[in-house]
Amino acid sequence: MASSSTPTTISFLSRKNRFRLFGLTLDDCIRTFFGGNALISVVVLALITFFLFKEGAHFFAQNDRNLRIYRQAGLEYVDFIRTQSDDHTALTRSLSDLRVRTLNELTQKQNRPLAEANAALAGFDAFAGQFSDAVDPLRSLVSDLTEQATEIKTKFIVAGDKQEERNQLLAAGKTAEAGRVQIAVINFQEELKPLLATLPAYREANQAFATQLKAVMATAPTLPTPELQGRMDKFKAHTRDYLATFPAVEHKLETWDYLKPVPFWQAFTAFIFGREWLTASFWQDWYGVIPLFVGSLMVSLVALLLAVPLGVGAAIYVNQIASLGEQRFIKPCIEFISAIPSVVLGFFGIAVLGQALRALSQFTWLSWVPGFPFSERLNILTAGCLLALLAVPTIFTLAEDALNNVPRAFKEASFALGANRLQTIIQIIVPASLSGIISAILLGLGRVIGETMVVLLCAGNRIAIPDFTAGLGVVTQPVHTMTGIIAQEMGEVVRGSIHYRALFMVGLVLFFLSLGINYLAQRIVRRYRLSIG
């Protein structure tokens, strides 16, 4: 090294020998090289955006076709009736829930033996049985129609496959074989005729259903306590509302037209606002991101609720209260926690924490806690607790930095005015560093919402919007998340299928969400930073 540096210095002094490339000196070249490396992060960000779009963008065209066939094959038509039948099922379920409550009341509060209580409920059971049987004619109609509509859809899909086959043959230059591929042309009007011809039958069934329900409702039993009777009255009101919707359904069926165009924006709104994520179903696939988004949000909220007090509290303690020795011990420890890999935490959740929380929820003296007792060991709460442990180091480190940046003079002035340490912390130091603390929390949110392995292993993976009527108890329900669904389903989907593209769209949503959170955090720091001069 030393011997080579001497000639370099000499050649540097003589202008003639200076190395040039495209008119650039060596130093310029080096500079450009380093500059190029610095640009890489910009390039990577651009590439991420580009490739997520490239793989995902075609989703909307495919979803548009998916929705169009839903209408043209009459699936939408059948779903009108199906919804009606499903609503009835929901009513039946609430009735059976009511029975359980009444039985509990009789056996536990009034201390009657089980057989006697069941006998007392015989009238109720007869009522419930009649209520649930009333829907039978409608349901059989639905199952007939389902078969017909599925048949039309299958024909259409087969035709699409054949078309694809022909295109591939043509592309391969095999014109003769391509000509031999038979593509059935589907005349939806003809195909839908038998389906639409069932309208009078539907009217009849509906009429019978309505009269039957009304007759059954007249025989509704009275229940022992006012509270239960109140629930019964509510049920009656629901049933009345339900009956009132019948003409609307009939009207929808009458005016339904398979030719009504599906606007293109619906492919977009069906994704962004869709309340169902249903794949590989025999009937109709739905790609709505809302259940996943709500799942991610719920898990993150629980995690932040736990992590913010702990993280910020620990930061305040270490920065303002703890002795030097404690600081030296705590800081590396928390840094160490941040190094625990998320998959190990996820495994811990499956193996230990889920069981422990469920066992905890079974204690009777804890039954006042909303959502307790629960039986699903993997749920929002389990995942949230573990994510909180992941978020605490992030929040702690950034919040501690923010507290550290408050000038000493602030603190000294506060002490000089006679405030004690707590008053100084709460009223001077924390407000002065609030922007930093808030951005720390936001970055913690970004970390939590993008976390994959913990939620994949511990959130329960049930794709449904959690039931918010349970109040705070909603946190003990299983959910699925945006990150989790990508990790789980990406390995199994067919490349280029609508499902595959839908997963890339979810990734895109996640990407922009994290960019948004990041932007907000930076914005807050810059906007609300105290000008310390």
Partner 1 sequence: MNAPATAHIFKARPTTARRREKTSFWLFRAATYLVLFCGAAVFATIVVKGSRSVFQAKAPFINTTFFTEAPESLYVFEYQGKKMELGDKAYRAFKAQNPDAATVKTESYVYSAGGIFPCIVGTVLLVVGSMTIALILGVCAAIYLNEYARDGRFIRFIRLAILNLAGVPSIVFGLFGFGLFVLFFDWNVSLLSGWFTLAFMVLPVVITASEESLKSVPKGFREGSLALGATKWQTIRKNVLPYALPGILTSSILGIARVAGETAPIMFTAAYVVRDKLPWDVEKFSDFFFQGVMALPYHIYVVSSKIPQNEYTERVQYGTAFVFLMIVALVATTSIVLRNHLRNRYKW
What is the footprint of partner 1 within residues 419-458 (CB under 8 A)? Answer: 420-423, 443, 446, 449-453, 456-457
173 three-state secondary structure: coil
Residue 472 sits at φ, ψ, to 5 deg, of -70, -20
Nearer to partner 1 among residue 1 and residue 218 (C-beta):
1
Nearest distance, CB of residue 65 and partner 1, angstroms: 23
Nearer to partner 1 among residue 198 and residue 452 (C-beta):
452
CA–CA–CA angle 128, 133, 138 (5° rounding): 140
Q: Determine the straight-line distance between the first and last CA of the chain, rounded to whole angstroms.
A: 48
Q: Return all residues near 194 (Cβ < 8 A) that are at least 6 apart.
A: 148
Nearer to partner 1 among residue 101 and residue 462 (C-beta):
462
Question: How far is it, in rounded angstroms, from Cα 531 to Cα 410?
Answer: 13
Restricted to residues 36-65, the positions that interact with partner 1 (CB under 8 A) are 37-42, 44-45, 47-48, 51-52, 54-55
Nearest distance, CB of residue 412 and partner 1, angstroms: 18
Restricted to residues 343-362, the positions that interact with partner 1 (CB under 8 A) are 343-348, 350-352
- Best CA proximity match to 77, nearest among 149, 143, 137, 140: 149
479 three-state secondary structure: strand
Nearer to partner 1 among residue 420 and residue 469 (C-beta):
420
Number of helices followed by number of strands (H, E) in the chain: 25, 4
Among 336, 363, 468, 528, binds partner 1 (CB under 8 A): 336
Q: DSSP code of 494?
A: P
Applying CB under 8 A, the site for partner 1 has a residue count of: 89
Question: How far is it, in rounded angstroms, from Cα 531 to Cα 110?
Answer: 69
Nearest distance, CB of residue 316 and partner 1, angstroms: 6
Nearer to partner 1 among residue 91 and residue 322 (C-beta):
322
Neighbours of 490 (CB within 10 A): 14
- Is-contact 253 77, C-beta < 8 A? yes
Question: How far is it, in rounded angstroms, from Cα 35 to Cα 119?
Answer: 85
Nearest distance, CB of residue 442 and partner 1, angstroms: 10
Nearer to partner 1 among residue 34 and residue 363 (C-beta):
34
Per-residue binding string, partner 1, 360-389, x by CB under 8 A, is -----------------------------x
Nearer to partner 1 among residue 37 and residue 111 (C-beta):
37
Nearer to partner 1 among residue 2 and residue 171 (C-beta):
2
Question: How far is it, in rounded angstroms, from Cα 310 to Cα 301?
Answer: 14
Among 396, 436, 498, 502, binds partner 1 (CB under 8 A): 396
Nearest distance, CB of residue 389 and partner 1, angstroms: 6
Restricted to residues 485-524, the positions that interact with partner 1 (CB under 8 A) are 486-487, 490-491, 495, 503-504, 507, 510-511, 514-515, 517-519, 522
Nearest distance, CB of residue 311 and partner 1, angstroms: 8
- Is-contact 424 369, C-beta < 8 A? no
Nearer to partner 1 among residue 213 and residue 521 (C-beta):
521
Kindly state the tokens that stand for 108: 């536990």
What letter represents residue 503's amino acid? L
Nearer to partner 1 among residue 360 and residue 422 (C-beta):
422
Peptide bond into 221 cis (omega under 30): no
Does the footprint of partner 1 cover residue 158 (CB under 8 A)?
no
- Best CA proximity match to 278, nearest among 53, 502, 51: 502
Nearest distance, CB of residue 475 and partner 1, angstroms: 18
Pairing relationship of beta strands 20-21 and 286-287 according to DSSP bridges: unpaired
Nearest distance, CB of residue 380 and partner 1, angstroms: 18
- Best CA proximity match to 239, nearest among 81, 90, 80: 90
Q: DSSP code of 108?
A: I
Nearest distance, CB of residue 480 and partner 1, angstroms: 14
Residue with tokens 């495209």: 22
What letter represents residue 85's amino acid? S
Residue 21 sits at φ, ψ, to 5 deg, of -135, 120
Nearest distance, CB of residue 160 and partner 1, angstroms: 24
Nearer to partner 1 among residue 48 and residue 196 (C-beta):
48
Restricted to residues 264-323, the positions that interact with partner 1 (CB under 8 A) are 309-311, 313-314, 316-318, 321-322
Instruction: Mark the segment that binds partner 1 (CB under 8 A) among 132-140, 168-176, 242-250, 331-339.
Output: 331-339
Nearest distance, CB of residue 290 and partner 1, angstroms: 19
